[in-house]
Amino acid sequence: MDGDTFRHWAHEAATFAADYRETLRDQPVRARTKPGEIAAQLPESPPEDAEPMDALFADFRRIIVPGMTHWQHPRFFAYFPANASPASVIAEMLSSAMGAQCLLWQTSPAATELEGVALDWLRQAVGLPADFTGVIQDSASSATLCAFLTMRERALGFTGNATGLSGRERLRVYASAEVHTSIDRAAWVSGIGHDNLIRIPTAGPLRGMDPAALEAAIAADLAAGHRPAGLVLCIGGTGTGAMDSAPELIRIAHRHGLFVHVDAAWAGTAMICPEFRDLWAGVEAADSIVLNPHKWLGVQFDCSAHYLRSVDDHLRTLSIQPEYLKTHGHDDITNYSEWTVQLGRRFRALKLWFVLRAHGLNGLREMMRNHVRWSQALAVRLAQEPGFSLASTPVLSLFTFRHDPGDGRDLDAHMLAMLTAINDGGDLYLTPTRIDGHLAIRFQAGAMETTEGDVDAAFQIIRDTARALS
């Protein structure tokens, strides 16, 4: 492809992107395709000869776009947001145009140094102290895996990488049932094992870990000859927004020498609003904290901010320097590939930098405060409707609800029917969760283009769907 052709199709792609954003409200939020429908329209074998770009672009519009669920839709209230602000999209285009591999300082000096600066800006914005140092991971799952590997190595005197886990006492890691399943996977992949991920009961309206139960579990494991290694705290759980109370839990963990990792993937970026910081008070004593700018903050996926109080322990666990990765003549530089499991690294810092500058903290705060205010007002309205009840305490812009028609029917089946009808309608997208064994529907406001009118429309659709099924 020559320069003129590239310029033409780059313009076409930019025009599509702008048109796509402008017309999202006209589209159903969730794709209306059936499993296998997209694949059936694609050839079984790759082309032997080059095809013209206009054919590729036509197939993209005809086959791919209708099969996409629209995560940037203003009525996407499912899961957590994956906001991609226009500023972030532009930054990603620029990064892709350069095609850089940012594994070492010398392979992309600007990318390395911008990552340090942008992450320090974000650290300041969420109120973390200056002794935390950050690295961009691809996702919270990777950050959590790194934390598990570090807690494993610390517990084993940094000998696990060399000699393995065979024949050693069991390492124990503690978490509540409210944590994300990435915690389970980190236990698997790190070699600690699912059976050694000990679930601590929760208590209180925010479904936080019970400190007395944690203390008792640690004592029982010590008595049984096991080795407590780590604690994972939940700040804004996926199911209900669960919040562990950090100060007392971290004190218990550190008294026993445990490494503490905080999963604040969704809620962490909301701490740019000082009034929300009570929800994670005390996290500054943790050893590792992860939060995702690629959720609520508006940074295009993937961009996960992993903050560490002791970089030395982290690097002692993960760093490896073969001769071909050394930067000779520079001993004081940062090579972020030594901070992550993966060697290859994209230029993720550019889009974080663009978003922080294009919106400013005040613009991002206004968006988040609106989402919280609108969501919590909706929770109050629904709870006042006949048959509706809140299934958990609202946290930031997330709440869960149930509906009971009052005729003795199976309520889980009724909630599933409600959810299916709402999502099939196309005007909203919601997802379920299970609370104390019973099905509930989640609502979270987080899309950047959501308005108060969209949340009002959600009330009407949810209420009318419940009436129609009653």
- For 2-39, the pLDDT digits (tens) are 999 999 999 999 999 999 999 999 999 999 899 999 99
Q: What mean pLDDT is predicted for residues 47-74? A: 95
If 0-12 CB within 10 Å is exposed, 13-18 middle and 19+ buried, where does residue 86 land? middle
- DSSP code of residue 297: I
For residue 421, is pLDDT > 50? yes
Q: What mean pLDDT is predicted for residues 34-61? A: 95
Residue (of 148, 154, 123) closest to 136 by Cα position: 123
Instruction: From the options 2.30.30.100, 3.40.640.10, 1.20.140.10, 3.40.50.2300, give the CATH code of 100-346.
Output: 3.40.640.10
SS3 assignment, position 135: strand
Q: What is the model's pLDDT at position 328?
A: 47
Q: What is the model's pLDDT at position 300?
A: 94
pLDDT, tens only, 153-180? 999 999 998 888 888 889 999 999 999 8
For residue 326, is pLDDT > 80? no
More confidently predicted of 229 and 320:
229
Q: What is the model's pLDDT at position 104?
A: 81
For the ranges 178-192, 219-233, 271-285, 389-403, which has the lowest average pLDDT? 178-192
For residue 362, is pLDDT > 60? yes
Q: Where are the beta strands (DSSP E) in 315-430?
A: 388-390, 398-403
Q: Which amino acid is at 336?
A: Y
pLDDT, tens only, 339-349? 888 878 888 99
For residue 329, is pLDDT > 60? no
pLDDT band for position 327 (cuts 50, 70, 90): low
Q: Dig out the tokens for 255 from the structure.
A: 């008294």
SS3 assignment, position 280: helix
Percent above pLDDT 70 for the chain: 98
Tell me what the pLDDT averaged over the chain comes to. Answer: 93
Cα gap 76→28, rounded to integer Å: 10
Cα gap 199→399, rounded to integer Å: 23
- DSSP code of residue 390: E
Cα gap 382→371, rounded to integer Å: 16
Look-up of token digits 């919590």: 376
Q: What is the model's pLDDT at position 324?
A: 53
Question: What residue segments make up the domains of the chain, in order of their start?
Answer: 3-84, 100-346
Bond from prior residue into 302 cis (ω within 30 degrees of 0) = yes
Q: How many CB atoms lie within 10 A of CB 432?
A: 17
CA distance readout (Å), 124 to 117, 131, 333? 11, 11, 22
- Dump the DSSP string for 218-270: HHHHHHTT-EEEEEEEEBS-TTT--B--HHHHHHHHHHTT-EEEEE-TTGGGG
Cα gap 162→332, rounded to integer Å: 26
For the ranges 27-36, 320-329, 365-374, which has the lowest average pLDDT? 320-329
pTM: 0.92
For the ranges 200-209, 339-348, 429-438, which has the lowest average pLDDT? 339-348
Q: What is the model's pLDDT at position 99?
A: 87
Q: Dig out the tokens for 8 from the structure.
A: 């033409």
Cα gap 77→459, rounded to integer Å: 12
CATH superfamily of 3-84: dopa decarboxylase, N-terminal domain (1.20.1340.10)
CA distance readout (Å), 352 to 33, 50, 52, 244, 439? 33, 36, 35, 28, 37
